[in-house]
Amino acid sequence: MKKSLLISLAITTATGVYAQEALSSSAPVASPVINPDNSVTLTLKAPAGHDIKVLGTCIDGYRADMTISADSSRWSYTTSPLQPGVYYYTFTMDGVNVLDPSNIHILQDVATLNSYFIIRGDGKDIGSLCSVNDVPHGTLSHAWYRSDFHGADRRMSIYTPPGYEYSDRRYPVLYLLHGMGGDENAWVELGRAAQILDNLIAAGDAEPMIVVMPNGNISEDAAPGEGTKGLTQPVFNLPQCMDGGFETSFPEIMNYMDRNYRTIASREGRAVAGLSMGGFHAMNISREYPESFDYVGLFSAAMLNHATADSPVYRDAGSKLARQMELQPSLYWIAIGTDDFLYKDNTAYRHQLDSAGYPYVYHETDGGHVWKNWRDYLAIFAAQLFKNGEKH
Amino acid sequence: MKKSLLISLAITTATGVYAQEALSSSAPVASPVINPDNSVTLTLKAPAGHDIKVLGTCIDGYRADMTISADSSRWSYTTSPLQPGVYYYTFTMDGVNVLDPSNIHILQDVATLNSYFIIRGDGKDIGSLCSVNDVPHGTLSHAWYRSDFHGADRRMSIYTPPGYEYSDRRYPVLYLLHGMGGDENAWVELGRAAQILDNLIAAGDAEPMIVVMPNGNISEDAAPGEGTKGLTQPVFNLPQCMDGGFETSFPEIMNYMDRNYRTIASREGRAVAGLSMGGFHAMNISREYPESFDYVGLFSAAMLNHATADSPVYRDAGSKLARQMELQPSLYWIAIGTDDFLYKDNTAYRHQLDSAGYPYVYHETDGGHVWKNWRDYLAIFAAQLFKNGEKH
């Protein structure tokens, strides 16, 4: 394992200079290669006589056969020209998943790992927004807050905007919640939240803000591998994810932030948003604590019928929603793709809002229940937050 | 890719309850499985008719053939009983690297990725020290400091000890440097620095301290994928890693810390240590700024003859070392394994110190130029730092 390092560090003692060798025998080909037309060539060094495929969001139809080179040493596939964005892929060799050995960049999505790359456009496209650009960068922290409710220290990710360390000012806070099977790393890694915020703030398209990404799976204290359970694999814990415990204990997170960070600790300085299960949490949290949040974002939100869930949080939803709307939140934003399996439920929820005369902003897109949409939604939602002078 | 999430999130709308399904079709077997005797069984689901091996630090002889199951559906290998520690492995299938599809836990070491697991003992063994235990946890941050010397914002990792957020006290700082091909993530990920410090501090075996892990590869602003160059692959940049620039500009990092964190901003509150190239950096930085550091740790340090390197940092090394030793650092600690390819150079350096009568503490171990040793060295070194009343 250390062979590559050993080779490269090997001193040619006669001259006192390190010999510089190939990094690793495991990366003999360049992959991925982004071509001038934004098509991407993926290559795997593998012998002939196999069934080798590539699967991924960069592939038309999600799956394709790879083609062996004339010298039978490597397999390749070139995508169609791609729009700016973040793309995942993995190879399979006779049915076995093979991450691209030439690409160290891996994203975990629930229990699967994928290689990934980013296609950038030339401006404010989502690929550029998801990239690390030459702009001031915020700080990303992983901190642990005490939850007396859950009897545990729990891990969360916190983005503070560029300049936070140097200034005395207070900042508004966006609480940004993940979906089922996700954790406090999901918006950081898959969601590129720090890069999106850095770039929006640098362009003047979003207010400088703190972004808090807690772990909404209350059966765990942290993401798999980051908590006291050790190097576990991801699990769904539906009853514990949506039993009201996370919503009920949410003030512990706000209190931690307001005590330890220079937050604007009042309604006009707080937003809560989430995707899928996190959208469900955001809907309930904002409804349960309407005096705490002036901005709400529901991204492909789950909209459960909670007749069976026994939590005070889910009771009297109608009157709580009425109270929340009475306070006239500056933004109640609902976004979903037309192919999302939760589209119908979101439509029903909007009809409920419509018939009660409650205002909201609706953003409908193409696509399904995918991170491609959630990154877009974050960029669009964050740009609308904490604008001075609107409704205040 | 989202299939597993879609399945699991699929609402059975009639009952309003989410159906809970298998997480992913890509993890049909459990692997790794730690057996009661601390042997570990690694399993790959793959068809017959292949050459399937496992490589890794958990394998006697580093490489072994795997054995196919009676039903020809999966390949397995069981290690010998293992000592506590962190272990890496990867499969190969007809020569192609295959990361364990059942294990989401991956470590990057220069340009290679490996699956990993941890064997724990029952006390202060390194496996337990490297684990997340039920103790107070520090905060781990990734921040960017301005380097006017390099004309860039540069990323670093910062560990603050448990209670930092709640207290007004000032803390000493350990500057902890990586090796060639590493970056600001190396001590965090491969080195388990946050876990080691959490556990040492909780046990009362180390003083609460801040640990700063900068990026010593000054041709880069950040680890691959975290910087403005985009999703690059790791590269060695020897001339720029060891041309004196990192050492010369090191006060920019200390200034950032002293300005933005509650540090003890004086000699008795600072240590600098590093592994391999980072040991070389620590040796030079502590010699160049002897008034700044009271503790020095050289872990498997590179000890170059710098006749050819043109930097003021490397000039007058003898008189600078004399000045450093005149100030009587509380600890000048040298550690190396007898199989390390730098062992001979370290011996020569110790002879140089001996003949000048300069005191140091020497810690010799088994093993080579490997993270197994560096995690041990960090635990032993950190426990000796910032003890009140010793020499002060």
d(CA A76, CA A78): 7
d(CA A192, CA A114): 15
- Partner A, chain B 319-338, Cβ-Cβ below 8 Å: none
Question: B213: which chain A residues are within 8 Å (Cβ-Cβ)?
Answer: none
**pLDDT computed for residue A18 by the predictor:** 30
- Pairwise CA distance, residues A14 & A5, whole Å: 20
B159's tokens: 């560990």
Report phi then psi at A203, rounded to 5.
-80, -5
Q: Could you report how far apart the first and last alpha carbons of chain A are, in Å?
A: 59
Asked if this assembly's ipTM is beyond 0.90, the reply is yes
Contacts with B98 from chain A: Cβ below 8 Å = 93, 96-98
Closest to B65 (Cα-Cα) out of B57, B77, B73, B74: B77
Whether the ω angle into residue A32 lies within 30 degrees of 0, i.e. cis, is yes
Q: Are B282 and B297 contacting, i.e. CB atoms less than 8 angstroms apart?
A: yes
- Answer whether the bond into residue A224 is a cis peptide, omega within 30°: no
Closest chain B residue to the Cα of A92, Cα to Cα: B98
Contact (Cβ atoms closer than 8 angstroms) between residue B97 and residue A98: yes
What is the sign of the dihedral through the CA atoms of B379, B384, B386 and B387?
positive
How far, CA to CA in Å, does A69 sit from each of A33, A97, B94, B96?
16, 21, 17, 16
Inter-chain touch B304–A224, beta carbons under 8 Å: no
DSSP state of A323: H
Which residues, in sequence order, are CB contacts of B140 under 8 Å at separation 6+? A141, A142, B157, B158, B159, B188, B194
Please name the member of B24, B180, B345 whose beta carbon is closest to the beta carbon of A8: B180
The pLDDT assigned to A5 comes to 34
| Percentage of residues of chain B with pLDDT beyond 90 | 84
**What are the structure tokens assigned to A143, written together?**
């901190």
Structure tokens belonging to residue A131: 């990239």
Give the model's pLDDT for residue A239.
66
CA contacts within 13 A on the Cβ side of B344: 4
Chain A residues touching residue B96 (CB < 8 angstroms) = 44-46, 93, 98, 101
Q: What is the pLDDT of residue B235?
A: 75
Q: Mind listing the pLDDT tens digit for each residue in B185-212?
A: 999 999 999 999 999 999 999 999 999 9
- Chain-centre distance for alpha carbon A128: 16
Both tokens of residue A164?
């936070």
3-state DSSP of A119-170:
ECCCCCCHHHHCCCCCCCCCEEEEEEEEECCCCEEEEEEEEECCCHHHCCCC
A with B: how many residue pairs have Cβ under 8 Å apart?
Answer: 272
Give residue-wise pLDDT tens across range B140-157.
Answer: 999 999 999 999 999 999
What residues contact A229, with CB distance under 8 A and at least 6 apart?
A220, A221
For residue B134, what is the nearest residue in chain A, using CA coordinates?
A228
Span B88-93, average pLDDT = 97
User: Helices (DSSP H) in B192-316: which residue ranges?
Assistant: 193-202, 238-241, 245-248, 250-260, 277-288
Q: What is the pLDDT of residues B99-158, one digit of tens each?
A: 999 999 999 998 899 999 999 998 889 999 999 999 999 999 999 999 999 999 999 999
* B8-38: pLDDT as tens digits: 333 322 222 232 222 334 457 999 999 999 9
Judging contacts by C-beta atoms under 8 Å, the chain A residues touching residue B10 are 341
Kindly identify which residue of chain B lies nearest to residue A132, measuring between CA atoms: B228
- Token pair, residue B186, equals 């190396």
Q: What angle do CA A270, A126, A41 make, to 5 degrees?
A: 145
Q: What is the pLDDT of residue A291?
A: 98
Would you state the pLDDT for residue A96? 96
Query: Closest-CA residue in chain A for B195?
Result: A226
Q: Which residues of chain A have pLDDT under 50?
A: 1-26, 307, 390-392
CB A184 within 8 A of CB A222: yes
Whether the CB-CB separation of B116 and B89 falls below 8 Å is answered with yes
CA B198 – CA B130 distance, rounded (Å): 9
Mutating which of A156, A236, A336 best tests the B interface, going by the most B Cβ atoms within 10 A?
Answer: A236
Mutate to test the interface with B, among A96, A160, A192 (most CBs of B within 10 A): A96
Q: Looking at the DSSP assignment, which residues form a beta bridge with residue B196?
A: none
> Do A247 and A163 touch, CB atoms closer than 8 A?
no
| CA dist., res. B205 & res. B323, Å (int) | 31
CA dihedral defined by B214, B218, B221, B223, rounded to 10 degrees? -60
Give A 218-247 residues with CB within 8 A of chain B.
Answer: 222, 224-228, 230-231, 233-236, 238, 242
**CA distances for B186 relative to A239, A307, B84, B178, B319, angstroms:** 37, 49, 21, 6, 33
* Cβ-Cβ contacts under 8 Å, B2 against chain A: 109, 368-371
Contacts of A266 (CB under 8 A, 6+ apart): none
Expressed in angstroms, the distance from the first to the final Cα of chain B is 59
